[in-house]
């Protein structure tokens, strides 16, 4: 085992702080990765604070990891030391259920192993995520990064990117389609960029009037202030697809009314377990055969496809880089929708902090 500096939450109501973890020695199929950057997802905050009711402590969040390969196991063929790689939300799955066989490990019928808050399958313990100096991952769950520079801004693609790319592809977003993205946060700003790159007519819904200019710069053709009923009414019955990334409970009917016949609103935002969305009105669904759906990240094959699509279209995240010790301040700003548009931890700050403590 290798001792590794990390940041962890020790309970739901404590801030994150330094915490030493251990990483396994790389097995024959494993890749050891020195972590350069890790994005800060709202799911990290939900988990650190046990808002989904399933957190095992200590909890080391982080599932938007970009790093450099430092060693590979003897049976690894697709990667070598020095490669730039990514790790997203999963580090293992059963490999033999229908979903895994279809390349949809994110829907593994036996439950995939999360990069953090696992549980790890062999020992039933926890897994520790990317708020750490390094990680060891089975090569099946490691992604190739082909972006040449700006690697900090690539990190959020590993969750925010794939979580928006996958439903946009599944519901055939492209030219001739009118697509709404709800919420301009980490997921939402990637949704706007990707839907625009896929050729759709993109409408951003935001509660923050100050984000209007950014919404257009990022690729929205129109920006609607969702708190203004008159602006919302102008779009009634006109959308093919709406991707809702909002983490807080809100009135879904306001968006269902905007779907065309047979339109779908896909929810990817996941509110805390004790404050769900109010139930939508059934008539809003049956009168136009509208659908509400959900979607969870994406499979490994599709994640690689998304990374390659982004490299080809010159897409990265808009980020604010922070030091590891500023993570608790970043969480508070995220709760105020004050992120432009993803925090990314420069992991050198954690390595320096650990080194100065040891000295």
Binding region for Zn ion (CB under 5 A): 41, 43, 159
Q: Closer CB to Zn ion, residue 26 or residue 39?
A: 39
Residue 314, CA distances (Å) to 98, 193, 308, 320 in order: 34, 10, 10, 18
Instruction: Select from ligand NAP, Zn ion, none the partner in contact with residue 9, using the beta carbon and a kind-dependent cut-off of 5 to 8 Å.
Output: none
Least spacing, CB of residue 293 vs ligand NAP, in Å: 11
Shortest separation between residue 88's beta carbon and Zn ion, angstroms: 8
Cβ proximity to Zn ion, 159 vs 203, nearer residue: 159
Q: Give CA–CA dist 285/256, Å, rounded.
A: 7
| Residue 31 interacting partner from ligand NAP, Zn ion, none (CB closer than 5 to 8 Å by kind) | none
Among 74, 102, 106, CA closest to 92: 106
- Which of ligand NAP, Zn ion, none does residue 42 bind (CB under 5 to 8 Å by kind)? ligand NAP
Yes or no: say if 159 and 88 are a contact pair by the CB < 8 Å rule: yes
Q: CA-CA distance, 315 to 163, in Å (whole number)?
A: 15
Nearer to ligand NAP, 177 or 250 (CB): 250
Residue number, nearest CB to ligand NAP: 185
Q: How far is the CB of 69 from ligand NAP (least distance, A)?
A: 25
Please state the closest distance from residue 37 (CB atom) to ligand NAP, in A: 16
Nearest residue (CB) to ligand NAP, 208 versus 328: 208
Judged by beta carbon, residue 263 or residue 298, the one nearer ligand NAP is 298
For residue 76, the partner it binds in Zn ion, ligand NAP, none, with Cβ less than 5 to 8 A by kind, is none
Tokens 């060891």 correspond to what residue? 136
Closest to ligand NAP by CB, 4 vs 295, is 295
Tell me how far, at minimum, the Cβ of 359 lies from ligand NAP, in Å: 36
Residues at the site binding ligand NAP, with contacts judged by CB under 6 A: 41-43, 46, 159, 163, 183-188, 206-208, 211, 245-248, 250, 268-270, 295-297, 334, 337, 339
User: Which residue lies nearer to ligand NAP by CB, 21 or 159?
Assistant: 159
Query: In angstroms, what is the minimal distance from the CB of 307 to Zn ion?
Result: 15
How far is Cα 273 from Cα 282, in angstroms, rounded to an integer?
22
Contacts of residue 114, defined as CB under 8 A and 6 or more positions apart, other chains included, come to 63, 89, 90, 91, 127, 129
Report, in Å, the least distance between residue 5 CB and Zn ion.
22
């Amino acid at each position: 085992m290798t001792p590794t500096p990390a940041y962890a939450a020790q309970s739901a109501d404590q801030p994150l702080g330094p915490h030493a973890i251990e990483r396994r020695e790389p097995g024959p199929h494993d890749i050891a990765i020195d972590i350069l950057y890790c994005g800060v997802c709202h799911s990290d905050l939900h988990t650190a604070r046990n808002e989904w009711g399933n957190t095992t402590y200590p909890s080391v969040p982080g599932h938007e990891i970009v790093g450099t390969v430092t060693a590979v196991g003897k049976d690894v063929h697709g990667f070598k030391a020095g490669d730039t790689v990514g790790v997203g939300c999963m580090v293992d799955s059963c490999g033999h259920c229908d979903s895994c066989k279809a390349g949809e490990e994110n829907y593994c019928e036996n439950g995939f192993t999360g990069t953090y808050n696992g549980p790890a399958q062999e020992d039933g313990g926890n897994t520790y995520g990317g708020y750490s100096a390094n990680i060891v991952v089975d090569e099946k769950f490691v992604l190739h990064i082909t972006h040449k520079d700006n690697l900090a801004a690539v990190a959020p693609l590993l969750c925010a990117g794939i979580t928006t790319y996958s439903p946009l592809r599944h519901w055939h977003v492209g030219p001739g389609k009118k697509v709404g993205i709800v919420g301009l946060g980490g997921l939402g700003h990637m949704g706007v960029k990707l839907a625009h790159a896929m050729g759709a007519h993109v409408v951003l819904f935001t509660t923050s009037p100050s984000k209007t200019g950014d919404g257009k710069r990022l690729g929205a053709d129109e920006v609607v202030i969702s708190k203004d009923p008159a602006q919302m009414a102008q779009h009634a019955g006109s959308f093919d697809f709406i991707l809702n990334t909002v983490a807080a409970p809100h009135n879904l009917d306001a968006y269902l009314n905007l779907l065309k016949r047979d339109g779908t609103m896909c929810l990817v935002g996941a509110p805390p377990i004790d404050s769900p969305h109010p139930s939508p009105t059934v008539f809003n669904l049956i009168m136009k055969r509208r659908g509400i759906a959900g979607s969870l990240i994406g499979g490994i094959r599709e994640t690689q496809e998304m990374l390659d699509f982004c490299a080809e279209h010159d897409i990265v995240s808009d980020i604010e880089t922070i030091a590891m010790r500023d993570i608790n301040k970043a969480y508070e700003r995220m709760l105020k929708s004050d992120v432009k548009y993803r925090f990314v931890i420069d992991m050198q700050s954690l390595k320096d902090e650990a080194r100065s403590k040891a000295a």
